[in-house]
Amino acid sequence: MKLWDKGTPVNKLIEDFTVGKDRELDLYLAKFDILGSMAHSIMLESIGLLEQDELEKLMTEMKAIYQKADKGEFTIQNGVEDVHSQVEAMLTEKLGDVGKKIHSGRSRNDQVLLDLKLFTREEIRQLVEATNELFDTLINQAEKYKDQLMPGYTHLQVAMPSSFGLWFSAYAESLVDDLTLLQAAFKITNQNPLGSAAGYGSSFPLDRQLTTDLLGFDSMNYNVVYAQMGRGKMEKTVAFAMSSIAATLSKLAFDVCLFMSQNFGFVALPDELTTGSSIMPHKKNPDVFELIRSHCNKLQALPNQITLMINNLPSGYFRDLQIIKEVFLPAFDELMSCLKIANFALGKMTIKENILEDDRYQYLFSVEDVNRLVQQGVPFRDAYIQIGKQIQQGEYQPSKQVAHSHAGSIGNLCLPLIQQKRNLIIDSFDFKKMDSAIKTLLK
């Protein structure tokens, strides 16, 4: 079944190529397509294109189909082109001509726009929750190990004293910025495109504000041409936010792999979280973080993939946009799995204490000793030269005392303030509004 079928058969080779992976990928969108059809049907009844009894029959049947989709029992039959066609076919089979009426005033173009936005805002909510959990784990580890010093590096050379509190909380605060980008992506996503039809509106007196309210959107994409132009742009914007989270995870994973190596030995994972070698019995490999690193590096390419798919397209709909689903829809599961496994592993990570007692790290304290001379009245440049000569002549004896007290330093991690920044961002996501709307729609 094809919603556009006018009785002329399509070459099988062409049909298979143009349908592509839609039957498989549209299963991601099934629940959301039904929700959109429910809201659209209520709106059609409100403007006189459906009778009250017809709406009641449609709503009852769509709720039943929704339950199937929610349980993972929804399928797209062979010969049916996509999720939109499948839902309409199921309604028509059960309700006859009433099922054929729900497409009035809309196109598959605004249906898929709507489905993608409803799907994406729910996936964003799950990413926010998972990122928030990882943030909490990092903050807890920072608090637990805040007094344990470790080397800091520049150019992979021993540089200055750091601490595990600084290291863990650095990634926590990085996630706050990632959440800020995700919040912007959510705001762009949470606008209703329904009613734009094929991109140029409809001669029916569609009540677009009603569907906006029924689906819990913040607002609508008012201009129908822009609503259609938003296809691809929304996905790219969300992909940039996802890639930001992925970049944080990738950098963190690299640190863990480095710090777990015997040459560093700063952190450790329980044996059951590591893997071994088929030939070397001593190996305890950080494969989980190596895979997180690779998955997240792959995810950082997502915005560029989408950009290249939509580049140089003029206004209006083009079939190019269909291929975005192949890279965009599965990406959420990939990032979610990385967030969850990172959170699990980092929560069980332990650290090595008293690392800086090793003489190889004695030069870490050179800046501390320069600053100590400055506090005694020696000009900074003279103090720098004085300590530098001691190092060159092999006479340097570090004091091994660290006294950092300014905001964000070893002695003042500002963990409550970082948490406060996080809380402000989390509170700015208005998930309650969309939840309430969908709950009411499904009653």
Query: Catalytic amino acids?
Result: 155, 277
- DSSP letters spanning 75-107: ---TT--SHHHHHHHHHHHHHTHHHHGGGTT--
Cα–Cα distance between 415 and 140 in angstroms, integer?
10
Q: Are 326 and 117 in contact (CB under 8 A)?
A: no
Cα–Cα distance between 131 and 129 in angstroms, integer?
6
Cα–Cα distance between 267 and 104 in angstroms, integer?
61
Of 335, 352, 351, nearest in space to 175 by CA: 335
Cα–Cα distance between 317 and 196 in angstroms, integer?
12
Cα–Cα distance between 415 and 142 in angstroms, integer?
8
Token readout for 121 is: 């805002």
CB half-sphere exposure, 141, CA atoms < 13 A: 25
Cα–Cα distance between 213 and 433 in angstroms, integer?
10
Token readout for 138 is: 């990092």
Cα–Cα distance between 152 and 154 in angstroms, integer?
7
In angstroms, the Cα distances linking 56 to 51, 245, 437 are: 9, 44, 18
Cα–Cα distance between 396 and 123 in angstroms, integer?
56
